[in-house]
Amino acid sequence: MISDIQQIRSFNREVTRRIGVLHHQFLGRNRPVGESRLLFEIGTVGKEVRALRTKLGLDSGYVSRLLRSLEKQGLVETVAAPRDARARVARLTLSGLKERQELDRRSDDAATSLLTPLDKNQRHRLLAAMAEVERLLGVGDLKISKEPADSPLANWCLAQYYAFLEDRFEEGYDPAQGQRTDSKEFSPPEGVFLVARRGMEPVGCGALKSAQPGIGEIKRLWVAKSTRGLGLGQQLLSALEKEARLLGMSAIRLDTNRSLTEAKALYLKNGYVEVQRFNDDPYPDFFFEKTLT
């Protein structure tokens, strides 16, 4: 029987080898990898040089030299950044865009070539397994942190949350119909707003407010589709309960819609018990409460 560690090492070896070969075959035509990476990273609308540097993790001098080389090839032009004339923005020229498109096309071809030997069922299995590996490898850098409840990040998460509800609720969802909450209620010292990130990307959120003295209420618990099944909902819930304890709350209540079966299961698993309806919000069907110990 192959051990867990052997399985991982074998995966690492085989998969990187295979993808490396693929990359070489399809992309490694004539341009050094550094230049191709840069061409890609600049994107269709251009990007500041400092952004390129941090994103690719390269030395400033090195990036500069790569840009000069791409400029000489007529693929890139750099102009001063609009607000800060020290910084520069690199943009693709017309032929740079064409070149990037070509790289993009080849990258697609490389991806396609992995599917061609497979039948329909096998393709489906491969894609599912790839998604699973990618998701699970991402668990390591899930981080939960407090954010100002009125920050662009928090608002972005809320927009995702509302879109999700709109999609999931049989009756649709209109934020204006729901119970209105001022972002101040989710701010210290009354409450808190947590955002979960994978790397830089926000993938979940949750908010705590004070419902009555000593009783907290959890709202806006959202987990991005790409991150479901990784226990992030549980992590957020635990983190919110911890915050509630720190705020001296002795109980937490929350409500949920009948369509959100995973959420209901999560609450039950965490010792929440069903109670009488405690608001007249039209969306929730179930009301829960838990005493914090």
Residues of the shown chain interacting with a copy of itself in the complex, contacts defined by CB under 8 A = 4-5, 7-12, 14-16, 18-20, 22-23, 107-108, 110-119, 122-123, 125-127, 129-134, 136-140, 142, 230-231
> Minimum distance from CB of 244 to DNA (Å)?
37
User: What number of chain residues touch DNA (CB under 7 A)?
Assistant: 25
Single out the residue of 26, 39, 76, 78 in contact with DNA (rule: CB under 7 A). Answer: 78
Angstrom distance (rounded) from CA 262 to CA 266: 6
Angstrom distance (rounded) from CA 277 to CA 275: 7
Angstrom distance (rounded) from CA 218 to CA 231: 18
By a kind-dependent CB cut-off of 5 to 8 A, residue 29 interacts, out of DNA, a copy of itself, none, with none
Q: Does 34 engage in binding with DNA (CB under 7 A)?
A: yes
Check: CB of residue 250 under 8 Å from CB of residue 214.
Answer: yes
> Minimum distance from CB of 175 to DNA (Å)?
36
Nearest CA among 100, 109, 110, 48 for reference residue 70: 100
Q: Considering beta carbons, is residue 45 or 85 the nearer one to DNA?
A: 85
Which residues in the 49-68 window bind DNA by CB under 7 A? 49-50, 53, 58-65, 67-68
Surface-to-core class of residue 75, CB atoms within 10 Å of its CB (0-12 exposed, 13-18 middle, 19+ buried): buried
Where do runs of H (alpha helix) occur along the chain? 4-27, 33-42, 49-56, 60-72, 94-115, 120-138, 152-168, 232-246, 261-269
Q: Considering beta carbons, is residue 122 or 291 the nearer one to a copy of itself?
A: 122
By a kind-dependent CB cut-off of 5 to 8 A, residue 163 interacts, out of a copy of itself, DNA, none, with none
For the chain, count helices (H), then strands (E): 9, 10
Under the rule (CB under 7 A), what is the footprint of DNA?
32-35, 48-50, 53, 58-65, 67-68, 78, 81, 84-88
